Amino acid sequence: MLSNLLFPEIKETIDDITKKYPKRPEWQVVTRMAPSPTWFVHIWNVYSAMLDDIFAHKDKWVAFLRIEDTDQKREVEWAKFKIIEIFKIFWLLFDEWAFWPDGTDVWAYWPYTQSKREYLYKVFAKHLLEIGFAYPCFMTEEEINEVRQNQTIWKQVPWIYGWYSIWRNAKEEDVLKALEEKKEFVIRFKSPGKIGDRVVVKDLVKWDVETNDNFLDIVLIKKWGLPTYHFAHLVDDYLMWTTHVFRSDEWYASQPLHEQLFKVFGYKAPKYVHYAPLIKLDNWNKRKLSKRKDLEADVEYYFKLGYPIIAIIDYLANIINAWYEDWRKENKTKNFREFDFKIEKMSQAWALVDMEKLDFVSKEYIATLGIEELYSLFISWASKYNSEILELANKYPDYTKQALNIERELENPPKRFQKMSDIPGQLTFFYDEEYEKLDINMTELIPTLKKESISKFLGNYIAWLKLDLPKEEWFSLLKEIALKSDFALNKKEFIEWTHAWVIWDAAMILRVVLCWQRNTPDLYETMQVMWKERVENRIKRFI
């Protein structure tokens, strides 16, 4: 028999294999996350894993993790371990997973790594050959290209199918001759579909849609023995008893093919959930988020910028169900899993990766943190990405916390930080070690005032310096000193409305002298944290 010649090492049947994978309970929903370990972990992987996790664990069902590493040309060895690491960081829960730290697979449906399941794919391919729905194809790349060129000329669908496939109905002696000549071959699906056939595709997001049925003889087993995604999907999700497949909308067009594969085996296909892919605007054109082009595609890009994990989760959760944002406003401290996510209310529109929206979500979340939580989060980020600020923050923990806490206890506090990488710019100037390194160029920072006028104001201010006053009294004192200084007289018209400009100049001088920058947190609170000795020393240093 031809199947024995093609797969002489395969002695078991699919019934033998199926008995090794116990059927799960009928009531149980089973989802799977199946990333490919090619380069870094895509933010899409986290988004997809959230879907599997959320919907499986709403009712204590099962979600498992499978590594799809059949594209070995693109595989990166460390990537599969990075996938596990990233999912743990996001608290994504899988009941079964690909491997333990020592590299071994466990659980009842192992192996959970596709490259270790080659034998299983060949068992199923052999069966498909025996029932007449597969055939070996020895076409070379040159022959395939010639077919496609002719199809283009004749305005036909460019693929291998029907009479375009010269091996689809080949005689057995021709196949035997090709094998004797050791020609390379693939195993193709002999599709029962015909051009023009229609089928109704059922999807839990898109509902029922009538579309073209599959008629293509796609490759099932590649030349080197590993399966294509299409065939691995059938074998793996059947043996692992997957009930719901969550995947990107780009796979929606393949659903007729996949349901056809399940049907020829006599299996029930899983339910499909095709969600909107993540996209970005590129010169006002929408395109899929690219691993090769876009920094935002890499999960670790978000880590380096210092977005809190919960903020990223909240942002992605809002993409899953749009009204999650309103729920979060009313439930600021609740776990995101407490929201009632619904498959049928997932958006069909493509999901824009909007960094400004993420900034807003992150800023709102950071504003809810207590100072100890904020300090801990900042230290954790700095320990990986900013060793200099980490050393100072650890050296002066209480002082650092006071600086971070400025304005946070107001009734309607301004939200100072969108992410952890915003903090060093508003924190470094508090430390004397960093301040002493700087040479302040007051002319550049405040070009409208003379140095002599600034020095006179600072001399007057330091003589009257009081930091134990309530804010209103401190402000009145600052105004009084400013109006007595020379730079007030530089104004062309000295009437009441100019007082605001004078106070603005005075406050800006103090900001620049104390913090060497124009944009700082509330000046009064900043000076309260620095306190009198540090404020005096910095003013004297400038004078």
DSSP, res 487: G
What is the distance between the alpha carbons of residues 287 and 282, in angstroms, rounded to a whole number? Answer: 7
Instruction: Say what the pTM is.
Output: 0.90
* Least confident interval from 136-140, 163-167, 269-273, 441-445: 441-445
Q: Where are the domains of the chain?
A: 280-367, 438-542
Structure tokens belonging to residue 376: 């801990």
| pLDDT attached to residue 495 | 44
Angle at 94 between CA 302 and CA 376, to 5 degrees: 40
C-alpha separations of 215 from 155, 207, 403 in Å: 16, 23, 67
The answer, yes or no, to whether residue 442 has pLDDT greater than 70, is no
**Which contacts of 388-396 are long-range, i.e. CB under 8 A and separated by 24 or more positions?**
389/423, 389/424, 389/427, 389/428, 392/428, 392/431, 392/433, 392/434, 393/427, 396/431
| pLDDT attached to residue 486 | 61
Distance of CA 519 to the CA centre of its chain: 32
Mean pLDDT across the stretch 20-32? 93
C-alpha separations of 316 from 290, 321, 337, 357, 362 in Å: 17, 9, 13, 11, 12
Contacts of 530 (CB under 8 A, 6+ apart): 430, 514, 538
On whether the CB atoms of residues 37 and 67 are closer than 8 A, the answer is yes
On whether the CB atoms of residues 160 and 139 are closer than 8 A, the answer is yes
| pLDDT attached to residue 104 | 66
Task: Name the pLDDT band for 493 (thresholds 50, 70, 90).
Answer: very low
HEC string for 92-104: CCCCECCCCCCCC
What is the distance between the alpha carbons of residues 161 and 190, in angstroms, rounded to a whole number? Answer: 8
| pLDDT attached to residue 500 | 66
Higher pLDDT, 174 or 283: 174
Exposed, middle or buried: residue 301 (CB in 10 Å: 0-12, 13-18, 19+)? middle
Contacts of 373 (CB under 8 A, 6+ apart): none
What is the distance between the alpha carbons of residues 207 and 217, in angstroms, rounded to a whole number? Answer: 27
Mean of the per-residue pLDDT values for the chain? 90
Residue range 280-367 forms a domain whose CATH class is mainly alpha
Structure tokens belonging to residue 62: 């099962």
The answer, yes or no, to whether residue 71 has pLDDT greater than 80, is no
What is the distance between the alpha carbons of residues 87 and 298, in angstroms, rounded to a whole number? Answer: 14
Torsion of CA 275, 280, 286, 292, to 10 degrees: -100
Q: Which helix (H) or strand (E) holds 351?
A: strand 351-352
The answer, yes or no, to whether residue 496 has pLDDT greater than 50, is no
Residue range 438-542 forms a domain whose CATH class is mainly alpha
Structure tokens belonging to residue 201: 């595709």
Tell me: the pLDDT tens digits for 500-516? 667 788 898 999 999 98
On whether the CB atoms of residues 120 and 232 are closer than 8 A, the answer is no
Contacts of 315 (CB under 8 A, 6+ apart): 357, 358, 361, 362
Higher pLDDT, 516 or 232: 232
